[in-house]
Amino acid sequence: MFVKCNCNNCSAHLEFDDENAGQIIACPKCGLETLLYVQSQSQHPPISLPISAPKTNPAAKRKANTIKNIVAIGIFMVVLVGCFWVRNWRIQKLTSMLSETPFGEPVKEDETYAQRLLRYRAKAEQSVRVACTNDVVGLRQVMQTDLSTYQDNYKNWRASATVEFFNKMGGVERTNLDFRFDMILDDLYCIRIEKLPNY
């Protein structure tokens, strides 16, 4: 004869032959183990069975954890070495930038002031041409440069340049630019002097 009971875990209705009472089966709804029992009027369903965790092989678990740890350490080492490599590369690049002048020459530490002024005077026209290239949009050519480098203090030096450039309409215009000199990384460079308009 078929009887009914409830699953010990999900309370699903189970129907079974009364000869199978007392057996433990997997519930068709939740899949957990449940005890088949015959209900009586005064009897309550039995207490649910403890759910047992699936058995795992401890050696396999240790091996998996070891592999995870090795991979994590490997990734950490790669990142660490990469950080040191980038840091050293940036320091090397910065050092090489500081050890050369803007004209690509190494900094001369045993140079006297007079020798330095001679070197600055030799580079003054090139510095003006570089400044014209950087300051004038659509530069066509530098027509003429006039240098005033006779003083011993390079900060008092002045230069002017006449340049041709393409205007917005595609035509060619000519203008005069005035420059003063200053130092960067122990070498000479030009700064454009902006003239204020007369009102």
Q: Is residue 183 in some structural domain? A: yes
Q: Is residue 71 in some structural domain? A: no
Q: Is residue 100 in some structural domain? A: no
Q: Is residue 129 in some structural domain? A: yes
Give CA–CA dist 190/127, Å, rounded: 6
User: What total of structural domains would you count in the chain?
Assistant: 2
Look up tokens 């740890």; give the residue.
69
pLDDT > 90: percent of the chain: 12
Q: What is the pTM of this model?
A: 0.42
| 80-84, 97-101, 105-109, 172-176, range with the lowest pLDDT | 97-101
Listed in sequence order, the residues at least 6 apart from 195 whose beta carbon sits closer than 8 Å to its beta carbon are 178
Q: Is residue 143 in some structural domain? A: yes
- Does residue 198 have a pLDDT over 70? no
Provide the pLDDT for residue 26: 87
Provide the pLDDT for residue 75: 94
Q: Is residue 57 in some structural domain? A: no
pLDDT digits (tens, 9 = 90+) for 6-20: 888 888 888 888 788
Select the more confidently predicted residue: 168 or 109: 168
Provide the pLDDT for residue 79: 94
Q: Is residue 107 in some structural domain? A: no
Q: State mean pLDDT over 158-186.
A: 88
Give CA–CA dist 119/12, Å, rounded: 97
Domain that holds residue 9: 1-50
